[in-house]
Amino acid sequence: MKAFKISVLAAALLIGAGVAGADAGRHGPDGGPMAGMEKVHSQLKLNPEQEAGWKAAQDKSRAAMRQARESHRKMHEAMKQELAKSEPDFAAVARISDETQESNLKARHEARDLWLKLYATFTPEQKLVARDFMRERMAKMERMRDKFERRGAERRIE
């Protein structure tokens, strides 16, 4: 199960990797999940064909992120509207949620597929750069997870 979680995390990081700081600062001083993308981009030393693939994947990732934010906003509004009613229709909200999740998943898969297509063109040296970047990101995610788990344990003790 842990290997599955790690592979999902790695895929998620790879999917979002091309956003190259599109939302820098939105998640704290380190720039959030896209921190370090400009650095890894320059380290990869992409050829013109790969650069075009990077841009396409980056654009698709940005669009998927925008779509997800907009979907979240719409879901929030739909829930607020339903809660304002004397008899909210939670089934309607569930349908909207399912539809938006399916749409967002499709957009994320499209972005992921572009990143995987780009990765397939990498030289062995470029793959090492990508691997090292992913290792750094995973280590950071693990440190964050440990920090949150410690905080949760401290709260349970109180």
Same domain flag for 92 and 82: yes
Count up the domains in the chain and report the number.
Answer: 2
Q: How far is CA 33 from CA 5, 40, 80, 124, in A?
A: 17, 13, 29, 25
Same domain flag for 114 and 127: no
Complete DSSP assignment for 28-92: STT-GGGTTHHHHHHHH---HHHHHHHHHHHHHHHHHHHHHHHHHHHHHHHHHHHHTSSS--HHH
Same domain flag for 69 and 111: yes
What is the pLDDT at residue 151?
Answer: 87
Range of the structural domain that residue 111 is part of? 56-121
Same domain flag for 130 and 101: no
Same domain flag for 133 and 80: no
Same domain flag for 77 and 102: yes
What is the pLDDT at residue 27?
Answer: 47
What letter would DSSP give residue 1? Answer: -
- Residue 46 CA, distance from chain mean position: 22
Q: Please give the chain's pLDDT, 158 residues, in tens.
A: 555 444 444 454 455 544 433 443 444 445 555 567 888 999 999 999 999 999 999 999 999 999 999 999 999 999 999 999 999 999 999 999 999 999 999 999 999 999 999 999 999 999 999 999 999 999 999 999 999 998 888 887 76
Same domain flag for 116 and 131: no
Same domain flag for 71 and 116: yes
Same domain flag for 117 and 128: no
Same domain flag for 156 and 103: no
Same domain flag for 107 and 60: yes
Same domain flag for 115 and 131: no
Q: What is the pTM of this model?
A: 0.73
- How many CB atoms lie under 10 A from the CB of residue 114? 21
What is the pLDDT at residue 35?
Answer: 62
Q: Is residue 1 one of the residues assigned to a domain?
A: no
Note the pLDDT tens digit of each residue in 19-61: 433 443 444 445 555 567 888 999 999 999 999 999 999 999 9
> At a CB cut-off of 8 Å and minimum separation 6, what does 118 contact?
50, 53, 54, 57
